[in-house]
A and B are shown apart, each in its own frame.
Chain A
Amino acid sequence: MNRTTTTLAAVAGPLLLASVLTACGTSGGSDTAGEPAAQGFTAPDVPMQESLGQKEGEVGILAWPGYAEDGTNDKTVDWVTPFEKQTGCQANVKYFGTSDEALNLMKTGEYDVVSASGDASLRLIASGDAAPVNTDLLKSYADIQPFLKDRDWNSVNGQMYGIPQGWGANLLMYRTDKVKPAPTGWDAVFEKDSPYAGKITAYDSPIYIADAALHLMNTQPDLGIKNPYALDQKQLDAAVAVLKDQRPQVSEYWSDYLKEQQAFTSGDTVLGTTWQFIANLAQADKVPVEAVFPSDGSTGWSDTWMISAKSKHPNCAYAWMDYIASPKVNAQSAEWFGEAPANAKACDFTSDKSFCDTFHAADKAYSDQIWYWTTPIQQCLDGRKDVKCTDYGQWTQAWTEIKG
């Protein structure tokens, strides 16, 4: 008897506390909180910097690993220290692992600039966390490859929200000794009853649904997919069905590049999606792999340095954006990370002279074949007005269901 009461107390405790805590925070409301407020997409009115002033002496930088090296990883890889010397802005660098982590950290308002991929940038703009960027104040902007300016993922209605850093495509990697004949397109990973069943890998993120949508775009034109990031419910269902068929053939999903590299090395995975620099790392280890740009196009990423709407050090932030996108530094960071630099003049400064060719940096035709990661939103990105498209929340839900 006594025990029962203690158990009851243990259960009742949190509930009681819960009702007490309710007072702080929750507003009474109906059952409609799931209804997204961001129908379509109007950028909140955030003021743009008009001119540059006195530098504040420090800047908070939020970056993908490898974008802001200060020599701690490799003594020869350091472009943060020269920046500090040049501008007098002390750089406080924080690396993040996923786009969503970047989003969370930006919301704190503690950081001035962020290197955002296309699947984070629109969300930063929509939530009012990113400010428009006055490109007239950035000397480096003139040298940025023209095909990276004013794109869906870094601008709204012709207003730039940052300065491009670099881009790359998701490639198809395979073991040359195990996969014959060599695959040429994404059919290889999506075909049913693949001879490589159980040895296929896929990227572990809801954004991978776009890869399946791209495949459908090429193979099932009746579905009418025009942009793999603008899927209505029917098209999303079709893409999900493709991925559910693929699921039994997948050896594992990867999001950690080292894990993928190791799986290809051991032969647990012989075929699947990859990034250029993972292929480079594996080839450097003498693993017989080859990464090809699929004949039917591919998805990819394009990163943009954006400035926080709550930036306390805007002048140092502009100094950083100008510096990081300048030819020499852009070459250093892009080469360290393994992607095509955004600055056209960066190609003169890479240590490996064939670098820009390997990454097709100036190849507009190559870049046009890439569908860059973009956050799916309700308002269809392909311009359709008669249907509602599925948003990232639904994609996340779908991704959980695909993995089962």
Chain B
Amino acid sequence: MTATSTAADRPPRAGLLHRSPRLRVGLLLTPPMLWLGVAYLGALAALFITAFWGQNSFTGTVERTWTLGNFRDLLTIDVYRTVTARTIGIAALVTVLDAVIAFPVALFMAKVASPRTQRALVVALLMPLWASYLVKAYAWRGMLGTGGLVSWVASPFGLDTPGFGITGLIITLAYLWLPYMVLPIYAGLERLPTSLLEASADLGARSGTTLRRVVLPVAFPAIVAGSVFTFSLTMGDYIAVRIVGGPNQMLGNVVFDNVGAANNLPFAAAVATIPVVVMLVYLALVRRTGALENL
């Protein structure tokens, strides 16, 4: 509003909002707070409570009495530890693989490519996100299968396709989540002034040293930010496992099977708290590196 406009020019309601900043802030913040409070925290709370309920194993009816049985099963039965360890392992490997692939790509995009190529590369990077997750996963199923593209490419070197299993799963997930790693690193490196690289070279640093002591520290928070995406997306995945994971299962499958097959909602809720806890720990670790402050 300029100083020349008077209250009479404006419609009365806009005037009210203009005069009372509290109301304005209140109206602005209510919808997101409701979203956060009801849809997000409320759902988490419901999940947490359900985890303490029991179930009639025959009729499948949820029994609303307090029990720690679900968590006892979770801690005492070996298979859940194995599945949790496997899931975290897969998530970590996918994250590392993505970081290793994404860093050079992002560096090239941000610092080497011409603005025109840069735009083309960003589009190329975003393009796979337009296709459905399922289409991409099934495409990998075709490629990893017997007589598929992977075995065709590998056979001249005396190798064979890894087939359906953990290896195939990690490759597929790394492919699926790669854009979520490249984009943050690219954004981070773009803010790195080229003059810093020149200064480093002027002071006699080789490109290796520049990369290690100038580029990496700047890119690190971005890599960490990207890792939060790839790690959490992998932690929650259960569809790719069913398509390319062979007979293996991840935490998501255990949740899915308990909801879909066993009809045991309380136990599924208890299992679903594991990824939440793992992510909280992960985020706490990330915060300790100080990466989030530098974003």
Contact = CB atoms under 8 A, between A and B. Distances in A.
Interface of A: 3, 7, 11, 13-15, 17-18, 21-22, 25-34, 36-38, 98, 100-101, 103-104, 107, 123, 126-127, 198, 205-206, 247, 250-253, 259, 262-263, 266-268, 375, 377-378, 391-394, 396-397, 399-401, 403-404
Nearest to A17: B45
A-B pairs, 3 with minimum CB distance: A33-B54, A393-B57, A29-B65
Contact of A403 (B247, B263, B287): B247
24 contacts: A13-B37, A17-B45, A26-B64, A27-B65, A28-B65, A30-B65, A33-B55, A34-B69, A38-B59, A100-B263, A107-B61, A126-B59, A206-B262, A247-B247, A263-B145, A266-B147, A267-B147, A378-B58, A393-B58, A396-B257, A400-B257, A404-B79, A404-B83, A404-B248
Contacts of B59: 37-38, 123, 126-127
A401 B79 contact: yes
Given A18-B48, A37-B56, A266-B147, A252 B246 contact: yes
Interface in B47-73: 48-49, 52-61, 63-69, 73
Contact of A33 (B58, B67, B141): B67
B145 A266 contact: yes
A324 B143 CA distance: 44
Nearest to B292: A3
Contacts of A400: 79, 249, 254, 257
Contacts of A401: 77-79
Contacts of A205: 261
A392 B163 CA distance: 33
Nearest to A11: B280
Q: Which of A100, A127, A267 has the most CB of B within 10 A?
A: A100
B256 to A, nearest CB: 11
A36 B57 CA distance: 6
Contacts, number: 152
Contacts of A22: 49
A198 B163 contact: yes
Interface in B129-163: 141, 145-148, 163
A100 B146 contact: no
Interface of B: 37, 41-42, 44-46, 48-49, 52-61, 63-69, 73, 77-79, 82-83, 141, 145-148, 163-164, 243, 245-249, 254, 257-258, 260-264, 280, 284, 287
A30 B52 CA distance: 12
A353 to B, nearest CB: 38
Contact of B69 (A15, A33, A266, A391): A33
A153 to B, nearest CB: 15
Given A250-B247, A252-B164, A27 B287 contact: no
A26 B147 contact: no
A399 to B, nearest CB: 8
Contacts of B262: 100, 206, 392-393, 396
A394 B73 CA distance: 12
B89 to A, nearest CB: 14
A28 B52 CA distance: 11
A257 B207 CA distance: 55
A197 to B, nearest CB: 12
B145 A17 contact: no
A250 B46 CA distance: 38
A378 B37 CA distance: 43
A262 B263 CA distance: 29
Contacts of B243: 259
A23 B165 CA distance: 46
Nearest to B79: A401
Contact of A268 (B57, B67, B78, B145): B145
A110 B193 CA distance: 64
A26 B51 CA distance: 12
A34 B67 contact: yes
Contacts of A37: 56, 58-59
Contacts of B60: 100, 103-104, 123, 127
B182 to A, nearest CB: 28
A115 to B, nearest CB: 18
A399 B243 CA distance: 19
Contact of B42 (A3, A17, A28, A259): A17
A267 B254 CA distance: 28
A400 B41 CA distance: 30
B261 A206 contact: yes
Contacts of A391: 57-58
A377 B58 contact: yes
Contact of B66 (A13, A26, A36, A123): A26
B247 A252 contact: yes
A118 to B, nearest CB: 14
A104 B257 CA distance: 14
A98 B78 CA distance: 28
B45 A14 contact: yes
A216 to B, nearest CB: 21
A251 B163 contact: yes
Contacts of A378: 58
A15 B262 CA distance: 27
Contacts of B44: 14
A209 B260 CA distance: 18
A27 to B, nearest CB: 6
Contacts of B57: 34, 36, 391-394
A38 B65 contact: no
Given A259-B243, A267-B147, 11 more contacts: A14-B44, A26-B52, A100-B60, A107-B61, A198-B163, A252-B164, A266-B148, A268-B145, A377-B58, A391-B58, A401-B79
